[in-house]
Amino acid sequence: MSSEDFLKEVQAIGEKFLLKLQNLPKAEPVEIISFSVVLLFIVTVLVLTIIACSCCCYSCCGCDGHSPDPRHRKSQVRPAAH
């Protein structure tokens, strides 16, 4: 998929979303509730993804400006040879 096709697809989805928002005041209560649930689900997934990525970046990459401390590495425990 080329970047132009991707941009067209994003624009089409955005236009459908705006049309849905414009028609929402005229919609039935069931449709309003279902739209709200879907929107809440999408926002929740995005927020959790951002939190997971920021926590991973902070703990693994040392995004606070310092290099990761080698003392905090996990060491593998191997069974003792008999």
* Dihedral sign from CA coordinates of 13, 10, 22, 28: positive
Q: What domain range includes position 52?
A: 29-59
Question: What was the pLDDT predicted at 9?
Answer: 94
Regions of the chain where pLDDT drops below 70? 1, 58-75, 82
Question: What was the pLDDT predicted at 42?
Answer: 92
Give a yes or no: residue 50 inside a domain.
Answer: yes
Give a yes or no: residue 66 inside a domain.
Answer: no
Give a yes or no: residue 7 inside a domain.
Answer: no
Give a yes or no: residue 55 inside a domain.
Answer: yes
CB atoms inside a 10 Å sphere around CB 8: 11
Total number of domains constituting the chain: 1
Nearest to 62 by CA among 75, 72, 74, 50: 72
Question: What was the pLDDT predicted at 47?
Answer: 94
Question: What was the pLDDT predicted at 78?
Answer: 78
Question: What was the pLDDT predicted at 71?
Answer: 56
Average pLDDT of every residue of the chain: 81
Give a yes or no: residue 35 inside a domain.
Answer: yes
Question: What was the pLDDT predicted at 74?
Answer: 64
